[in-house]
Amino acid sequence: MTDGRDDIDKNKVQPGSEAAEPTPEPLMDDEALDHEGVGGEDAEDGDFDDEDGEYEDDEYEADEDAPRGQPISVLPPLPTMPEHPRCGFIALVGAPNAGKSTLLNAMIGSKVSIVSPKVQTTRTRVLGITIQGDAQMIFVDTPGIFKPKRRLDRAMVAAAWQGAEDADVIGVLYDVSRRSIDEDTRSIVARLKEQGREAILILNKIDLVKRDVLLGIADAFRQEGIFSDIFMVSAITEDGVADLKQFLADRLPEGPWHFPEDQISDMPMRLLAAEITREKLFLQLHQELPYSATVETEVWEEFDDGSVKISQVIFVQRESQKAIVLGKGGQRIKALGSAARTELTAMLERRVHLILFVKVREGWVDDPERYSAWGLDFGAS
């Protein structure tokens, strides 16, 4: 290192570390425009149907007579369960935007949870699964914990605490760029104290502060008395992540693996595809609108040539929101769909034909069926 921190253990605080993640620039359009839909088999840049609000975002026709391709594996083959396996759940909790989803993806080595610069992007519990030596590590990415105001907020916070209560190890993530311990994080620490739970502290985004500030934050948390260990990492550059991962693997109890060795998440692919599209909404839309929208995958059709057709609906609560999602002449929904299809193609390692619709569904945020689909408690208080 060249910043004078060579004498510090860069993974575990004794007393310091290194690196952090720069805040990514959101992909935003400054105009609020008016139309809908994604992809087109007959147009180079995709066809937009102004009347129906449908946009198709691909340029190929699936060949139904082609031989079916080999099954796709997201990760290289992994070893089978060892003679003396270990397995356990590791809950990642913290205030909104602490970097939990980014750290989860870094731990797994693949994207299993969506990420955006906006707070409260994660709505439900997400499991990420990886193997480290003899241990199967099951990470629980939870929604950010904050003082809830709406029904959805209460359900998200309840899901976060449920994930922590069921875990073998709790990791409290903190964004050190905040410089002082915020109210949401203090409430997390206080509740863990009340429950008599021990946790480890993970200080994230450490390149955004100077060494003396970083060590001061670590000392302040150490005085809380619930943290057995403190680690400093950069989730985005993965500095310190490998050592943190090994430490967590060593803490897990003995027991058989819960999932097949090549499984990296328990999220159904249809739901993950919807989450990818919802992530693009967060990256491209302003202010509160992404929080008023949800995405559902209605059609998932696989063809013999290995390609897949995905049809999704973006639900918003008002006509004015629908116009913003569409953009003038459908330009925003085209950009959103193109970005989603590109990521889905890379993730699935196959051609993807994506069709998006934008529809108004008033009061979807108070629909019990939506909460059930997300694994949230509709009646959480």
Strand partners, 358: 314
Q: At what angle do helices 241-251 and 100-108 cross, to 10 degrees?
A: 80
pLDDT given at position 109: 92
Is the distance from CB of 261 to CB of 73 less than 8 angstroms?
no
- Please compute the mean of the pLDDT values over residues 169-189 and round it to a whole number: 91
pLDDT given at position 38: 43
Higher pLDDT, 116 or 381: 116
- For the chain, list the domains and their CATH numbers: 47-69+267-374 (3.30.300.20), 86-251 (3.40.50.300)
Residue 103 to residue 95: CA distance in whole angstroms: 14
- Please compute the mean of the pLDDT values over residues 94-104 and round it to a whole number: 90
Average pLDDT of every residue of the chain? 80
Could you write out the three-class secondary structure of 216-244? HHHHHHHCCCCEEEEEEEECCCCECHHHH
pLDDT given at position 104: 93
Residue 200 to residue 298: CA distance in whole angstroms: 41
- Please compute the mean of the pLDDT values over residues 231-260 and round it to a whole number: 95
| Annotated binding-site members for GTP | 94-101, 141-145, 204-207
| Annotated binding-site members | 94-101, 141-145, 204-207
- Residue 87, pLDDT above cutoff 90: yes
Residue 338 to residue 56: CA distance in whole angstroms: 9
Give the list of residues 6+ apart from residue 32 with CB closer than 8 angstroms, or none. Answer: 286, 323, 324
Q: At what angle do helices 331-348 and 319-326 cross, to 10 degrees?
A: 70
- Residue 7, pLDDT above cutoff 50: no
Give the list of residues 6+ apart from residue 292 with CB closer than 8 angstroms, or none. Answer: 316, 317, 318, 321, 365
Q: Give 352's pLDDT tier (boundaries 50, 70, 90).
A: very high
- Please compute the mean of the pLDDT values over residues 213-231 and round it to a whole number: 94
Question: Which has the minimum average pLDDT: 118-127, 129-138, 167-176?
Answer: 118-127
